[in-house]
Every structure is written in structure tokens, then in C-alpha cells.
Amino acid sequence: MSSTQLTVSIYEKNELGDENDSCESDECDEFADGCDMFTFLPLNIYSCILLNQTYQQNILDCIYFIETKLEANRRMQIELRNDAQSTTTTISTTLSTKAGCKHPNSIIPFLAPYFKDVKGLHPPQNHDVKMKRFNGEINQAMISANKPWTEEEKSQLKILVEQQSKRLLLDPLCRSKEIKAIAIRNEPNVKKKKQYEEEIEILNLEIDRMNNNKLEEVAPPREASDRIDWLSISVLLQQSKQISRSYLACELIWTNYLHPDINQKAWTEKEDDKLKQLISESGTNWEQIAENLGTNRLAWQCFCRYQSELNDKMKRMGPLSKAEAKKVEEIVSQLRIGNFIPWQQVNYFIDGRKSSQIKHYWNKINLLKRGESWNELEDKVLTAAVTK
């Protein structure tokens, strides 16, 4: 039934004096519920027509609004298609612009994700990526290298570890002292009171001695480093010195580098000889090698020392040692023919060094070839010649 028919029907029933002329019928209730805002209008045919026209106008306004938005949406789609088709810039320029970097030589296009389209979007995740994420595996591309510890950070860490180590040792003594102080107040026997006082005096001496001890004397063994509250140390570093280090980083550098039991002195010739002997006997079991070495070296120290200084198969970097420099000078003096030096032959007798390293060292110490140092007059003449 249309709204016009409904209003006419209601009007006819009302005019004929129907039993339900008080609008108690279902049709009248339906009409009244939908027209609460027009309750002030009289219930006649003219009011119904006016109400119907108002509804029709509202519907027409909504239709016009929707058609306007649809037309605007169609225009935007056409513009986007035209922009996509007329794009002639390279991938790097497109990515740089979208990332907010207008420089044509930006490195942003070369950063992760490495596989992406011209819009900078990476492909959907494959099964391998989904499984790794489900298993909680770490994405190696997102791991950044930790910055090295500064001397100030190491010093602050040592201070905090020393304070906490002393606290671990002093807490039992302080508790015992408090218990004995309470016992003195509650003990009526004078003799026992005197005994408690003597024990408290002994505890005070022990506490003073403990406070004066150095880090080497109070630090727990490396195996018991978990007794230290590394989380609180990390927080104290952040609060006091604005040093942002995780609790795990603090524990690792302490147990593997800063602990007093770790030998940080320079390697001796005797240690080097024994290290090479142990490697020839035990292979590369570095934990066992460090234990058999018996000089408080850790496994990583033995590994680094052998690979950087003692392994002839490794090409070493950095300046030549005194022994290497002496050997280079001896071999060059034996193999040179006048001013000609066969560097390939020299390199044959120098293990672990490149010929370029040996040649650089020789040119550095060969004063006859380098000549004397430049004097002030020569500097001025050279500068004037360049500017001219």
C-alpha cells in the first residue's frame, strides 16, 4: 500500500466514524510512528498529502546528493588512471618522492623492503615468511648492530656492579645486626646483653671492612653473575647518566669482558706458543683450549688471538708487528736487486700479509725514497704553483 493510499484510507475511516476513529488501528499506529515530527498536523487528507510531498522531496535530495558524489568519484578515478598511465619517472625517483625525499640521489629506494613495485609496495607474504612470523623468529634485516661501549659507560657499569655486590654481602650482616639489637632491648640478662654488644661490634668491623673492599674482592664469580639485578642496573644507567643499555647487554659485557677474573693483559710469547700447541692437539674446541691454557683467558679471546695473529692462513690487517717488520727488512735486503724489489717473492716469505701491506710499510720506512720532510718554503712554493 502506498503512502497516499494509506493516508486516504485513514482519512476515510476517520470521517465515517469508525469504531477505531482514535487511531488505534495498526495502520494508524504505523503512520503515527513514522511521522512523530509532524504530530502537530491535523489528521486530514491535506496533511497527509503535505507529508507525502515532504518525504518525496527528501528522497529526491538524497538521490541528488548520491549522484553528485558518484560523479565526483568517477572523475577522480579517471584522473588517477591518467596519472598512472602518464608516469614516466624511474623507480628510484618515484620512491624518493613518495617517501618525502626530493633528492634524486637518495638512498631510500635501496632500503628495505628490497623487492617492491613502482609505488614502494612489497609483495604479499609467502609461506616461509608466515611460518617464521608464526614461530616468532627474528627478522635479521631488522637487527641493528649495537654501538660499542665507551670508557665512561664501562666505568659507570663497574661502579653500579660494585655497589650491588657489596649490598649482596652486607644485607646478611645488617639483618644479623638488627636481630641482635632487638635481642639487647628484650634481654634482661646483663651478661647476655654484653655478649650481644660484642657481637654487634664485630659485625660493625666486618661491615666497615666490606665497604672498603675493591670490586675484585666483592664481585661474584662469573658463573654466579645472575645474582646481580641487571635490570635495575640498566635502569640506573639510564636515569643517572642517560646511558641506554639493555639489561642483557650489561650482563654480557660484564661476564665476557669487564669481570675482574678475565685476563685483559697483553698476550705473552709463552701464551702464544702454548695456544698453538693446544690448537694442534685439541682442534678448535675453544672452551677446552681456554681452560687448558690456564691464564684466565676466555674462549673468544683465544679464538681472536689465534685468527688475528697466529693463523698463517689468515690475512691480517692493521700495522705490522715488530717481528713482522724486522722480517720484512731482512727479506727485502736479501732479495732486492739495486732499486728493484720483487714484491711477490717477498710476500712468499711473509705469511698472513698482502703484498700491498708489505710494500706500504717499506715505502713508509724507506727515507731515501721518500726524501726529507717538506720545509715551509717548499710548502709556499707548491701552494703558489697550484693557485696559479
**Averaged pLDDT for residues 136-164:** 83
Is 46 within a domain? yes
What is each CA distance from 83 to 76, 87, 291, 383, in whole angstroms?
10, 6, 70, 56
What does the pLDDT read at residue 97? 52
Is 101 within a domain? no
Is 274 within a domain? yes
Residue 184 has pLDDT above 50, yes or no: yes
Residue 309 CB-half CA count within 13 A: 19
> Quick one: CA torsion of 307, 308, 311, 312, rounded to 10 degrees?
140
From the number of C-beta atoms within 10 Å of its C-beta (0-12, 13-18, 19+), residue 159 rates as middle
Q: What percentage of the chain reaches a pLDDT higher than 70?
A: 79
How far does CA 109 lie from the centroid of its chain? 22
Is 106 within a domain? no
What does the pLDDT read at residue 301? 92
What is each CA distance from 199 to 95, 188, 208, 282, in whole angstroms?
77, 17, 14, 54
Averaged confidence pLDDT in the chain: 79
User: What's the one-letter identity of residue 269?
Assistant: E
| Same domain membership, residue 211 and residue 165 | yes
Domain range for 289 is: 266-311
| Same domain membership, residue 254 and residue 174 | yes
Q: Of 95-109, 126-140, 156-170, 362-376, which one has max mean pLDDT? A: 156-170
- Are 218 and 169 in contact, with CB atoms under 8 Å apart? yes
d(CA 232, CA 253): 16
Q: How many domains in the chain? A: 4
Is 59 within a domain? yes
**Averaged pLDDT for residues 340-356:** 82
Is 372 within a domain? yes
| Same domain membership, residue 378 and residue 307 | no
| Same domain membership, residue 298 and residue 387 | no
State pTM to two decimals.
0.50
CATH number at residue 271: 1.10.10.60
pLDDT per residue over 106-137, tens digit each? 777 777 777 887 777 888 888 888 888 888 88
User: What's the one-letter identity of residue 289?
Assistant: I
| Same domain membership, residue 55 and residue 24 | yes
Is 146 within a domain? no
Is 114 within a domain? no
pLDDT per residue over 302-343, tens digit each? 998 888 778 877 766 777 778 888 888 888 888 888 888 888
| Same domain membership, residue 177 and residue 246 | yes
Pick from 29-43, 161-175, 340-354: least confident: 29-43
| Same domain membership, residue 213 and residue 271 | no
Question: Which backbone phi and psi does 63 adopt, to 5 degrees?
Answer: -60, -40
pLDDT per residue over 65-112, tens digit each? 999 999 999 999 988 888 776 664 554 455 445 444 555 667 777 777
d(CA 89, CA 92): 8
| Same domain membership, residue 175 and residue 248 | yes
| Same domain membership, residue 8 and residue 57 | yes
**Averaged pLDDT for residues 352-357:** 79
